[in-house]
Amino acid sequence: MEQFNGKSIYNGIAIGRILFYSKNQQQVKRNKVEDVEEEIARFESAKAKAMEQLQELYAKAVEEVGESNAMIFEVHSMMLEDEDYNESIYNIIRNEEVNAEFAVATTGDNFSTMFAEMEDEYFKARAADVKDISERVIAVLTGLEGEAGLGDEPVIVVAEDLAPSETVQMDKSKLLAFVTRLGSSNSHTAILARTMNIPALIGVEISEAWDGKMAIVDGKQGVLFVDPDVATLETYMEKRKREDAQRELLLQLKGQPDVTKDGRHIHLYANIGSVADVANVHANDAAGIGLFRSEFLYLEKDHYPTEEEQFQVYKTVVQNMPGKKVIIRTLDIGADKQVDYFEMEQEENPAMGYRAIRICLDRVEVFKTQLRALYRASAYGMISIMFPMVISVSEVRRIKEICEEVKRELSDSDIPYGDVELGIMIETPAAVMISDLLAKEVDFFSIGTNDLTQYTLAIDRQNPKLDNIYDAHHPAMLRMIQMVIDNGHKENCWVGICGELGADTTLTERFVRMGIDELSVAPSMVLPLRNIIVNMSVD
């Protein structure tokens, strides 16, 4: 048995086999083949297995995210049977005498490029689908099946590092835990791990030789055991059993209102990054969604998401949250969340550079595309829109002007939309200091404590060397939160917290006494916070 220490970014215990995850696992090489008919048979077999996987994914998706969102797998099945697509693969294998993997990859690239260049938005959207089905067939041919190469059984993913885009595309049902050598406890990948309720460690000196070995991740103590002995395995199986029992006790709180003993009501909402996360929101009985990180729609793509693509996602989320508020944050890329096709110049200090609302106000057509999708989706449920990285009243007024333009355009086209609350994230000291002025312009504030802490303390939250002095409990932070709450309430502007500090159970009572209206946290933290709220009194 070997024991390795790391830094915990989410508590919990995971027991299972290690999968050493490395990037670019599906690099396809061109190989000459002797028997082309045998190679075609390989393709046919792989295609049949890919079809089975798509049907299984469809059934699973219907159960987790609803039939409308699951239809993508039906579309993929039909595309995989497309006569032109298949004929292209057969011709490449026969005429060039090459391996099936290369023929599928070439056909996928060709068809994807063809669709991407079409004017019709529907066919443009099919470009990504062709790539998806091609990669699925190649995965079967090369034996690298499963989402993001995770395999068929749940695993502990060990990697040098994981980008947010890689994390969000992994099949959550196959993830037991994350263990990485690099990364920060305040990175967006870490936040995703907490959202998905997955134990995770960073700062572990990893080894590719661990691949396939049994392991234990202790997220509470920050320890990884590789090849644990029988005694250690039994001890941790018992600990996990006790954790499950505690979770069952918390489940008894489901259905109870988030009200203190003396009648103070707090809105307990959940943070999500994708449609699939909505299942966790319901499982943990959140009263709404306080932060939908829409940037992951952009991180998952190799092109700007179209209005229709975005609309379908937002519509699905609100339809799955009937009668409950869904707060969607507009595009928040830059800093540690880079998107290649945005073609942004490299910056020396990206955390304080061209990012979030600054990009949107500069690239107005990209911004309006997202706003049109959001307003269209608001006809199907209770959508609120939240804008990140605001530092001035003039920015808010410009945002509101653009929103009015979008509403006029929709009205002129007889496209319905609902009443939409507009709010901003308070995540810079500048926004805190003028929160009395900003509160006159918007319906709500949501305090993003992750960035607010880094800007207030002048600490890069992506730098693991500074984790020991990154203090979200700093008196300056708590004073700022109180100032924002007081200034917001003077103008009838409700105030919430959507940063990681909102899930800090050592501060829950203090936040409630400070007058906070809403806490939006990882779904798994909703019931632990409810347990504190229902057992406390404000007076």
Active-site position among 360, 403, 493, 498: 498
Check if 493 is active-site. no
Phi/psi at 155 (5° precision): -140, 160
Q: Identify the helix (H) or strand (E) that includes residue 266.
A: none
Q: Is-contact 424 396, C-beta < 8 A?
A: yes
Q: Is-contact 138 101, C-beta < 8 A?
A: yes
Residue with tokens 């312009």: 441
530 to 138, 435, 511, 524: CA distances (angstroms)? 46, 28, 13, 11
Burial (CB < 10 A; 0-12, 13-18, 19+), residue 211, is middle
Beta bridge partner(s), residue 424: 387, 445
Residue with tokens 């959001």: 374
SS3 486: helix
Nearest CA-CA partner of 136 in 211, 59, 56 = 56
Q: At what angle do helices 121-142 and 307-319 cross, to 10 degrees?
A: 80
Q: How many CA atoms lie within 13 A of 217 on its CB side?
A: 29
Active-site position among 76, 188, 360, 403: 188
Burial profile 396-413: b = 16 or more Cβ within 10 angstroms, e = fewer? beebeeebeebbeebeee
CA dihedral 244, 249, 250, 252 (to 10 degrees): 130
CA 535 – CA 418 distance, rounded (Å):
37
CA 409 – CA 297 distance, rounded (Å):
24
Helices (H) and strands (E) in the chain, counts: 20, 16
**DSSP string of 169-199?**
HS-GGGEEEEEESS--TTSHHHHHHHHTT--
Check if 489 is active-site. no
Q: Is-contact 199 220, C-beta < 8 A?
A: no
Longest dimension (CA), the chain: 82
Catalytic residues: 188, 498
